[in-house]
């Protein structure tokens, strides 16, 4: 993915550009110290993902994004958590709170990359091609179909995955969380713990740091994933 970074603070811009350059699936196309400097570059270059600070002189990141006719995916980077809701109101893909660790950056970037690949696949597919709604896994010497819509959650157990559905008994298969995440629609599934992925439409309630699936299955929300999950709740709450 072709990336651009905008931040008026040199240390913060250096950090973000460094993170972009060390991430294999990201390509740094441009880095700017103010939003105005970025306008011609966004017009001339094909930018897939923009990392932008919110609190900047001349024009802040929120107002700048609102002016864009052709918007790349936006990840806001800021020191002020109160901007989170405003960020998602302008269709931001994610939100990173300073100081930013590489793991938080990578988690947001990987989500954006999954969405990028999904959009590319949809664009390249023939108009009559159906979107894949199931995949096959090997389990107990058999190859079994898994209907994506029926999945409630997925649990990682060492080198194995346990896939829970509404229609069958849990299916155990060899695989990693990263590999299964890449097969699932990013707008419907979220990793909320190093050992759990949940099907977001199946959530029936949230109790403190736990998610309830179908009113009875309790899934913990890991510390590393709380911010992203809170942002999801904020965007989808009245």
CATH number at residue 69: 3.40.50.2300
Single residue among 124, 158, 184 that ends a domain in this structure: 124
pLDDT given at position 128: 41
Instruction: Specify whether 55 is located in the same domain as 162.
Output: no
pLDDT given at position 67: 81
Instruction: Specify whether 99 is located in the same domain as 18.
Output: yes
Angle between helices 102-124 and 226-235 (to 10 degrees): 50
- HSE-up of residue 234 (Cα within 13 Å, Cβ side): 19
Instruction: Specify whether 8 is located in the same domain as 106.
Output: yes
Q: Structure pTM? A: 0.51
CB atoms within 10 A of CB 89: 12
pLDDT given at position 163: 96
Q: Is the pLDDT of residue 88 over 70?
A: no
Residues 6+ apart with CB under 8 A from 40: none
The domain tally of the chain equals 2
Residue the block writes with tokens 């970074």: 5
Single residue among 124, 147, 182 that ends a domain in this structure: 124
Would residue 192 count as lying in a domain? yes
Instruction: Specify whether 114 is located in the same domain as 139.
Output: no
Of residues 108, 105, 103, 56, the one with CA closest to residue 83? 56
pLDDT in tens, 135-191: 888 988 888 889 999 999 999 988 899 999 998 889 999 988 888 888 888 888 999
As a whole number, mean pLDDT of residues 230-238 equals 78
**Looking at residue 181, which CATH number applies to its domain?**
2.40.50.1020
pLDDT in tens, 29-41: 999 998 888 888 8
Structure tokens at 47: 């930018």
Domain that holds residue 72: 2-124
Write the burial class of residue 129 (CB in 10 Å: 0-12 exposed, 13-18 middle, 19+ buried).
exposed
Instruction: Specify whether 169 is located in the same domain as 55.
Output: no
Would residue 18 count as lying in a domain? yes
Instruction: Specify whether 140 is located in the same domain as 102.
Output: no
Single residue among 95, 124, 153 that ends a domain in this structure: 124
Instruction: Specify whether 120 is located in the same domain as 19.
Output: yes
């Amino acid at each position: 993915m072709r990336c651009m970074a905008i931040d008026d603070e040199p240390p913060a811009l250096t950090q973000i550009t460094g993170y972009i350059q060390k991430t294999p699936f990201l390509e740094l196309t441009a880095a700017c110290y103010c939003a105005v400097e970025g306008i011609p570059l966004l017009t001339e270059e094909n930018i897939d993902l923009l990392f932008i600070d919110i609190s900047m002189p001349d024009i802040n990141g929120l107002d700048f994004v609102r002016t864009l006719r052709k918007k790349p995916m936006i990840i806001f980077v800021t020191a002020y958590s109160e901007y989170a809701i405003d960020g998602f109101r302008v269709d931001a893909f994610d939100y990173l709170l300073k100081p930013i660790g590489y793991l938080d950056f990578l988690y947001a970037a990987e989500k954006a990359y999954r969405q990028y690949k999904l959009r590319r696949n949809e664009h390249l597919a023939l108009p009559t091609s159906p979107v894949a709604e199931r995949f096959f896994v090997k389990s107990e010497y058999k190859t079994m179909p898994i209907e994506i819509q029926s999945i409630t959650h997925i649990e990682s157990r060492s080198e194995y995955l346990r896939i829970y559905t509404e229609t069958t008994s849990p299916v155990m298969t060899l695989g990693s969380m990263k590999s299964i995440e890449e097969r699932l629609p990013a707008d419907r599934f979220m990793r909320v713990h190093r050992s759990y992925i949940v099907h977001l439409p199946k959530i029936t309630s949230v109790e403190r740091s736990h998610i309830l699936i179908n009113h009875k299955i309790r899934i913990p929300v890991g510390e590393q994933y709380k911010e992203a999950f809170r942002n999801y709740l904020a965007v989808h709450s009245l």
